[in-house]
Chain A
């Protein structure tokens, strides 16, 4: 403090000796969150001269200027301010974030572009918004935040990833988007710690996607990881979070007594003394409260020539069923070294080792089906046999010695050269290397006489490797020439992808212990050893050429032309190369002179685009007819094995790209200094030549094998909106956001296996969906139920299936031909929601903040398939107890049976899948800076958070988030459900 006074005094002294000139000093600050922070690196220029300075690490500056000079304070991302000196010697400035965003830069494929010059539909999610869920996969955080992006978290297994759909479903193969992490193209980002991510950009329309050509069909999520900003002081950040997961839901099933009564109704006299029957609640036996924790330590900063970010993280999630756990360590090192003004070299590296303990993921399904009249254990402590499903506790006991260990390494080295004026040449070499090793051991055991037996101990080891190398070379040009702004890129990329697994299994290990998990010919009968090397489904190369030209005139009129040509080894002959063009146009109406009330309207932009992208996500063998091995013959006395080979499966050499043609119209609006913003988009997305793997007629001898066809055309169209309001009232700041997207999915054409105009989705050979022109893809297909037969007369006067009795479901004779048969199956529901939405509410008062995110969907149905699986006797859902017991007793619940017509796929098993879920509620407290300063802490924040706290839905399963495919979508086959999570966390920076 003394020094400061001295400095101040000497400054005053200097001032008195100058004439006209005076020394001015001060501190530049900015608010970040609720904190006022010094802002280093701010440029301060004396208007009309080339003289100026920048603030130091503490945000302080000093310069000489005339009494009547004007100072321009500028820093990227903040509003530039021009201040009159007016004879002052100390000028402290608070910089204001430039929420108009007109100079905001958006990451797009192979470059960045000013948001105002963007013609495509791109959503950007930054910072803390990415860290609202304690899950392994950062993409979970997008749930409910981006219009048109549907994230479905259908599995509670630790370490599992959600399904992601951008703008509906247009394909059957894999409708997931691709991820581009710092330029490396990947299919999954679950290896990334969300705290290492700077921003995620979601590319939705053709103008944005075409630069990714044959990968762009289902959307692209660009992930940029953190890097210290030039001029930023080194800062250390510690983040720690601990939570518990609770599975609150139970499916209402019959108790022991009710089960026995229902069975007696099926087979009279089976249970004669209902009072002595046990009543086991299997669901209570399998679910447990489980911890989840996530910690991260990072260091970030920059010098004049070097920018860096380093972090180490640890994620640990146990499952809500026993013996399941996922642990991940993530190491991140990003560095960019710029030894010359024109040259930079950099590296982005993530190494993420993980370990997954695999449990019995269908345990919840088995608990749902297990007979409640069986005690889990007998008097002597052994496991009781549970008919048809097995004893789940025995499964946990014997069958969970199954661990997967692995490591994901994603790395990239790059060089950038800036030359001439506005040119940048960049070459980057990226590598993805995924290694995984699974070990499982099953001891000798026997629970029942004919089930859950393992007569010989068995040890398996399975190694998997996936390697992808991508080399990208781009030449960018970014320059303002007069009124024209040009931003262009041309590039050339090659990629090689391969994966392979090696597995080995042996039986009768000499000891059960972990020390004997080796396959040693000295210890093990070589005849019990099975092994093999397989290549899985990725073994392909790709070459691509790309170009984009973005032109903006007077910041009013914008045009973007994009083109990419891809060649992929997955396709043969003339179908090998694909061309993907796009055009985007934009008009910043706000910059026109005729705009009135500029104080009210702060942004008006209209944009539109058209283009084509492709999808190549199919098995690399799909185009080939291959010969199957090991179709051996057995001959001779004594019998010997003779090698056999023959046609097995067949490919489709005529396969071509799926082509998505999309147009998009968007309007962006801003009012009252961007306090109110709105973004509206309408799109139409047609996928042609949809790649679908279809069952083929049995007479082709393909068994259960499926064949890929370009089998149809699907349209997704919808309206997306994102409206946000933010304001402050005294110390209270708040924001309200609502986003939503309508979706109409319609099949335009089906041209599958010759002669067929429909696509069927089957589960265990049971047709559950039918895709035909005019309906949504994967629409449920079955009989329409019109009640329950009350008496024999009614049956006699109605077309029925053989064996129909009073108490059975009445299936509608839909085609009115007087005969009930397969032709009477009809549309009974759609798995695709009409409307997805998210509502976010946030408020801070002084140091306390509260954030709430609600997410929901409307208008989809779920097929409760798990209830229809009846090859055997299982426990029943509770509603079955209200079964038909004679004329007039029920017109909705049929008589109970173990199988038969009542279990045909019908509207009886269709339920409304709409829901509204409280995704996140966070209550946080920021410690006052004054308190922290003495401890050397810059910021300190603690919070309490709940995820998936409640769900409003009519669906009777664990969770309305049911796994989604395409032809088999929204079919609940029994899931390991996601749970509620309650966490406490702390964030510190030094």
Chain B
């Protein structure tokens, strides 16, 4: 009897147990799925914020170490002699190749930015929320998408135009013209909806503005030699009454002028431990002073060529270059003393002062804000474009505005430029760009877009029809089974 009872109980409890299908429904833990995002106004804001986050990644800054400055005549690899020799040194002598990790990192990071902007542009429209705010979010994303693509275009040429957040893997490269058309369309739409800088609340400084979109559009036109349009948008920025030059050149890069008068577009940073998620901006860690004080790895070292090219007593030289022995903010720069002082072959231990951050926090936690577009650049774009457009007098006004600020009231230096021959003036404007914008990632592309690269960089190893562009990373071509064509003369 007992036996039967036990049996009944066991059989009942085992085989009559029926398992519900819900048992196999397990949702991802602590993770929203993309199908349900963004679904409310807070999500839409979070998605927009995330599109900016990429700007603080070291790899966004031209592959962590500014490979474009190192390729130019303005900077050397830097760091200690044995450091970074395999992957970074080659950019100095145009020996970089298709498997170089910085070439890949920059590509991947820019497209990570593109993807974040696509999420906003694609999926925020369906969110029920305040229409004006929604349009602003989408405008911010369009500005950022254009910013990421503009780096891709000048770095790699025409690239796959990923415009939607849907995953597709059959992309081929668009032409350079198509790429720029796409960038321009984004910026024009952004200009329509973005507020001016002064219309933003203080808490929102750092978000894309109408002025930033116009300035970037001016830069993009300049790169395409579309001087009419470049001048048009640069002057719109100038005439918007939103921006001015800071009182001194040096102060334009310091903490006190963050989001200041001269700042057209700027990437913020918070200096606490905790990495990018905590707000760090990795821009300076690759370039900061190496050794003592320990402010960075010390790559991207201003070259003797740059130092010697400044006009006599141009204060911008001292404000751009940190020399060993100098005292900054009461801190003596000792450096790492590993660089043999071989002034003879053009190398002394120097560092980029524009990214200088005083203090003793670990260098990976820097709060330095990168000024991505400064008003001075806008003035110089206007000057260059107007000069090309035979409006030399107006060009001179903008050019001399930059020089006037640079001379800081010292009339014995940096006299106003009066040259009216457009070709000679162009040389002067490019020289001005070199000194005003040194170490900010412009010089190499300036040389390329004005066909001066062969002449200036030829001795460094630059080959025409090859080194104007970076190669498409080999692994990208491998993964896509060759669907992405390589740039000319790269193998």
Q: Which residues of A contact B (CB under 8 A)?
A: 267, 340, 342-343, 387-388, 415, 417, 419, 425, 427, 449-450, 453, 455-456, 473, 492, 494, 507, 527-528, 530, 533-535, 539-543, 567-569, 576, 620-621, 624-628, 630-637, 639-647, 650, 694-704, 753-758, 760, 762, 764-767, 801-803, 819-822, 870-873, 898-901, 903-904
Name which of B9-17, B246-254, B421-429 contacts chain A: B9-17
Query: Given the complex of chains A and B, what is the CA–CA distance between A898 and B95 in angstroms?
Result: 14
10 A-B pairs with least C-beta separation:
A899-B86, A701-B115, A633-B49, A821-B491, A644-B49, A646-B50, A644-B50, A631-B50, A634-B268, A473-B14
Interface centre among B10, B170, B367, B369 (most CB of A within 10 A): B10
Q: Which residues of B contact A (CB under 8 A)?
A: 3, 6-7, 10-11, 13-15, 17, 19, 23-26, 28-35, 37-38, 43, 45-53, 56, 80-87, 89-90, 95, 97-99, 101, 104, 107-109, 111-116, 118-119, 159-160, 162, 165, 167, 169-171, 202-207, 258-259, 267-270, 272-274, 277-279, 281, 290-292, 294, 297-298, 336, 360, 362, 367, 369, 473-481, 483-484, 491
Structural contact, A699 and B50, CB atoms closer than 8 A: no
Neighbour of A822 across the interface among B37, B104, B267, B474, CB < 8 A? B474
Query: Given the complex of chains A and B, what is the CA–CA distance between A637 and B35 in angstroms?
Result: 35
Structural contact, B274 and A494, CB atoms closer than 8 A: no
Query: Given the complex of chains A and B, what is the CA–CA distance between A625 and B6 in angstroms?
Result: 49
Count of chain A to chain B residue pairs whose CB atoms are closer than 8 Å in the complex? 302
Structural contact, A696 and B207, CB atoms closer than 8 A: no
**Nearest CB of chain A from residue B300's CB, rounded to whole Å:** 15
Query: Contacts of B30 on A, CB cut-off 8 Å?
Result: 533-535
**Nearest CB of chain A from residue B139's CB, rounded to whole Å:** 15
Structural contact, B19 and A632, CB atoms closer than 8 A: no
**Nearest CB of chain A from residue B104's CB, rounded to whole Å:** 6
Query: Given the complex of chains A and B, what is the CA–CA distance between A478 and B475 in angstroms?
Result: 59
Structural contact, A621 and B31, CB atoms closer than 8 A: yes
Interface centre among B29, B45, B116, B479 (most CB of A within 10 A): B479
Structural contact, B491 and A624, CB atoms closer than 8 A: no
Query: Given the complex of chains A and B, what is the CA–CA distance between A625 and B97 in angstroms?
Result: 34
Q: Which residue of A lies closest to B466 (CB)?
A: A802
Given contacts A343-B3, A427-B13, A650-B167, 20 further A-B contacts (CB under 8 A): A492-B15, A533-B30, A627-B34, A630-B277, A631-B116, A633-B49, A634-B56, A635-B49, A635-B203, A635-B204, A636-B203, A644-B50, A645-B47, A646-B119, A754-B170, A756-B480, A758-B481, A822-B98, A871-B87, A903-B86
Structural contact, A644 and B52, CB atoms closer than 8 A: yes
Given A494-B23, A644-B50: A765 in contact with B116 (beta carbons within 8 A): no
Query: Given the complex of chains A and B, what is the CA–CA distance between A620 and B159 in angstroms?
Result: 34
Neighbour of B478 across the interface among A449, A620, A822, A904, CB < 8 A? A822
**Nearest CB of chain A from residue B108's CB, rounded to whole Å:** 4
Structural contact, B169 and A634, CB atoms closer than 8 A: no
Query: Contacts of A534 on B, CB cut-off 8 Å?
Result: 30
Structural contact, B83 and A699, CB atoms closer than 8 A: no
Query: Contacts of B48 on A, CB cut-off 8 Å?
Result: 633, 644
Structural contact, A632 and B279, CB atoms closer than 8 A: yes
Query: Contacts of B19 on A, CB cut-off 8 Å?
Result: 494, 543
**Nearest CB of chain A from residue B474's CB, rounded to whole Å:** 5
**Nearest CB of chain A from residue B448's CB, rounded to whole Å:** 19
**Nearest CB of chain A from residue B336's CB, rounded to whole Å:** 6
Neighbour of B162 across the interface among A527, A628, A700, CB < 8 A? A700
Structural contact, A822 and B24, CB atoms closer than 8 A: no
Interface centre among A455, A697, A819, A904 (most CB of B within 10 A): A697
Pairs A–B under 8 Å by Cβ, sample size 22? A456-B273, A543-B19, A568-B24, A569-B26, A626-B28, A631-B49, A634-B52, A636-B205, A639-B268, A639-B367, A647-B34, A695-B475, A696-B479, A697-B479, A700-B115, A702-B112, A756-B479, A758-B478, A767-B475, A802-B97, A803-B95, A822-B99
Query: Given the complex of chains A and B, what is the CA–CA distance between A214 and B53 in angstroms?
Result: 41
Neighbour of A872 across the interface among B24, B84, B112, CB < 8 A? B84
Given A576-B24, A871-B84: A698 in contact with B205 (beta carbons within 8 A): no
Query: Given the complex of chains A and B, what is the CA–CA distance between A192 and B384 in angstroms?
Result: 77
Structural contact, B160 and A453, CB atoms closer than 8 A: no
Query: Contacts of B51 on A, CB cut-off 8 Å?
Result: 644, 646
**Nearest CB of chain B from residue A286's CB, rounded to whole Å:** 22
Query: Contacts of A767 on B, CB cut-off 8 Å?
Result: 99, 474-475, 478
Neighbour of A697 across the interface among B38, B90, B476, CB < 8 A? B476
Given A632-B49, A898-B85: A450 in contact with B31 (beta carbons within 8 A): no
Query: Given the complex of chains A and B, what is the CA–CA distance between A633 and B481 in angstroms?
Result: 36
**Nearest CB of chain B from residue A571's CB, rounded to whole Å:** 9
Query: Given the complex of chains A and B, what is the CA–CA distance between A644 and B120 in angstroms?
Result: 12
Query: Given the complex of chains A and B, what is the CA–CA distance between A208 and B90 in angstroms?
Result: 58
Given A527-B272, A650-B167: A415 in contact with B24 (beta carbons within 8 A): no
Query: Contacts of A453 on B, CB cut-off 8 Å?
Result: 294, 362
Query: Given the complex of chains A and B, what is the CA–CA distance between A701 and B107 in angstroms?
Result: 9
**Nearest CB of chain A from residue B478's CB, rounded to whole Å:** 6
Structural contact, B50 and A900, CB atoms closer than 8 A: no
Structural contact, B270 and A627, CB atoms closer than 8 A: no
Structural contact, B169 and A647, CB atoms closer than 8 A: no
Query: Given the complex of chains A and B, what is the CA–CA distance between A626 and B28 in angstroms?
Result: 8
Given A624-B28, A754-B170: A633 in contact with B52 (beta carbons within 8 A): yes
Query: Contacts of A576 on B, CB cut-off 8 Å?
Result: 24
**Nearest CB of chain A from residue B349's CB, rounded to whole Å:** 13
Query: Given the complex of chains A and B, what is the CA–CA distance between A695 and B477 in angstroms?
Result: 12
Given A700-B111, A701-B162: A639 in contact with B279 (beta carbons within 8 A): yes
Query: Contacts of B162 on A, CB cut-off 8 Å?
Result: 699-701
Query: Given the complex of chains A and B, what is the CA–CA distance between A601 and B360 in angstroms?
Result: 85
Structural contact, A698 and B473, CB atoms closer than 8 A: yes
Structural contact, A650 and B204, CB atoms closer than 8 A: no
Interface centre among B48, B82, B87, B95 (most CB of A within 10 A): B82
Interface centre among A530, A634, A899 (most CB of B within 10 A): A634
Query: Contacts of B89 on A, CB cut-off 8 Å?
Result: 899
Q: Which residue of A lies closest to B59 (CB)?
A: A703
Query: Given the complex of chains A and B, what is the CA–CA distance between A765 and B354 in angstroms?
Result: 32
Query: Contacts of B82 on A, CB cut-off 8 Å?
Result: 387-388, 872-873, 898
Given A636-B205, A641-B279, A822-B491: A539 in contact with B111 (beta carbons within 8 A): no
Query: Contacts of B23 on A, CB cut-off 8 Å?
Result: 494, 541, 543, 569
Structural contact, A698 and B95, CB atoms closer than 8 A: no
Query: Contacts of A646 on B, CB cut-off 8 Å?
Result: 46-47, 50-51, 115-116, 119
Structural contact, A530 and B49, CB atoms closer than 8 A: no
Query: Contacts of A539 on B, CB cut-off 8 Å?
Result: 26, 29
Structural contact, A753 and B479, CB atoms closer than 8 A: yes
Given A633-B50, A753-B169: A627 in contact with B33 (beta carbons within 8 A): yes
Structural contact, A698 and B104, CB atoms closer than 8 A: yes
Query: Contacts of A635 on B, CB cut-off 8 Å?
Result: 49, 52, 203-207, 268
Structural contact, A699 and B274, CB atoms closer than 8 A: no
Neighbour of A766 across the interface among B26, B85, B99, B336, CB < 8 A? B99
Given A647-B119, A701-B114: A626 in contact with B294 (beta carbons within 8 A): no
Query: Given the complex of chains A and B, what is the CA–CA distance between A530 and B274 in angstroms?
Result: 8
Given A822-B477, A898-B82: A450 in contact with B268 (beta carbons within 8 A): no
Q: Which residue of A lies closest to B89 (CB)?
A: A899
Q: Which residue of A lies closest to B483 (CB)?
A: A755
Structural contact, B481 and A757, CB atoms closer than 8 A: yes
Query: Given the complex of chains A and B, what is the CA–CA distance between A342 and B85 in angstroms?
Result: 77
Structural contact, B33 and A624, CB atoms closer than 8 A: yes
**Nearest CB of chain B from residue A689's CB, rounded to whole Å:** 19
Query: Contacts of B160 on A, CB cut-off 8 Å?
Result: 697, 699
Interface centre among A534, A626, A801 (most CB of B within 10 A): A626
Given A645-B47, A758-B478, A821-B491: A703 in contact with B108 (beta carbons within 8 A): yes
Query: Given the complex of chains A and B, what is the CA–CA distance between A650 and B475 in angstroms?
Result: 20
Structural contact, B479 and A695, CB atoms closer than 8 A: yes
**Nearest CB of chain B from residue A633's CB, rounded to whole Å:** 3
Query: Contacts of A650 on B, CB cut-off 8 Å?
Result: 34, 167
Query: Given the complex of chains A and B, what is the CA–CA distance between A435 and B53 in angstroms?
Result: 36
